[in-house]
Amino acid sequence: MSRRALTLLLAGFLVLALGIVGAFRPVPYVVLSPGPTENTIGEVDKKPVISIKGRETYPTTGSLSLVTVAYQGGPAAQIDLLTALRGWIDPTVAVVPQETIFAPDRDPREVEEENSVEMTNSQDSATAAALNELKIRYDLAVTVVSTEKGKPADGKLRKGDEINSVDGRPAKDVDVVGDTVKAHKPGQSVLFNVTRGKDKLDVTVPTVAGPEGQTQVGLLMQAKYKFPFDVDINVGDVGGPSAGLMFSLGILDKLTPGELTGGKQIAGTGTIEPSGKVGAIGGIAQKMVGAQDAGATVFLTPADNCAEAVKAAPSGLRLVRADTMHDAVLALDALRTGKGNVPACDAG
């Protein structure tokens, strides 16, 4: 073998070896793929997803399924380049920079705690939204779960503080408190009135700019509702707030005679406020694939996700726009009866 041929052969082996090594090197990306679905009017591990005690309930049929996104990667378990490349090729998954899911200045344990609290808040907000839709009264209190170390609220507000008002505005729910804080410019102060033990205190907290530019004080809150009957939601390890709309519809379906779905396989997503307003979520493309894989033919879509959803919707999945829970109920009534308007998503 000539020296030239040997050199080319060795160079080829070297390139191949480097390519193999490089393919298995960790990269700062996260792969998002369709996650499991759960029927909110069905069961998980032989237990009802939604259990209601102290109030009459009614039989249900069909499904009102929440959808999820599974992910690979993260600071503690980075994916390799080969996994990222496979994700880029697969149209049903998305590969995104790690920092879009895990903020670089956040402890993963704090993110996990926040997701857990968001899921609890989502379940409570869903119950409140369903009761509001049915005009059933309830009480609530907004409480402090934790403060973020190094942020202005740290050392000023304490775990267990019950927030009565913020800047004189009654703390009717978590969103009222959050929106009032965000309405300030970074550096301005917010006046909290809290109940701590037996005392009522005024606590002034300065604000700072958060990672995305929103004004914040570094406060994690939870609304403690006092409902006139017990609503228990069992979804295992699912976290985050995006199942709120489907929880609220599942609760309403169980509390009312008749069948909200008409026996159809319905799936959907969206955060929910106690007022019934539906909010946007992430991972809409993967959630639609998961919904169709689970047999859904109709997908309830937050209005702010419609434009993206239309571009990525699997063939045969009907997208129904849901601005509010009430709108979603009317749309399901129209689908069931064949009468009335069914608002569709458009490309915006």
Residue type, 68: T
Catalytic residue, candidates 151, 254, 277, 287: 287
Catalytic residue, candidates 63, 146, 242, 248: 242
Beta bridge partners of 71: 32
Cβ contacts of 2 within 8 Å, gap of 6 or more: none
DSSP state of 91: T
Helix (H, G, I), strand (E, B) or coil at 228: coil
**Could you tell me the sign of the dihedral formed by the alpha carbons of 262, 265, 268, 272, in that order?**
positive
DSSP state of 87: H
Helix (H, G, I), strand (E, B) or coil at 342: coil
Helix (H, G, I), strand (E, B) or coil at 126: helix
| Length reported for the chain | 348
165/194 Cα distance (integer angstroms)? 7
Q: Which DSSP helix (H) or strand (E) runs through 307?
A: helix 306-312
List phi, psi (to 5°) of 14. -65, -45
Q: How much of the chain is helix, strand and coil, in % rounded to 5?
A: 30, 30, 35
Q: How far is CA 122 from CA 16, 35, 110, 215, 255, in A?
A: 50, 19, 18, 22, 19
Q: How far is CA 93 from CA 13, 71, 146, in A?
A: 33, 10, 34
Residue type, 280: A
- Look up 339 and say whether it is catalytic: no
Q: Are strands 50-53 and 139-147 parallel, antiparallel or unpaired?
A: unpaired
- Look up 242 and say whether it is catalytic: yes
User: Could you give the residue numbers annotated as active site?
Assistant: 242, 287
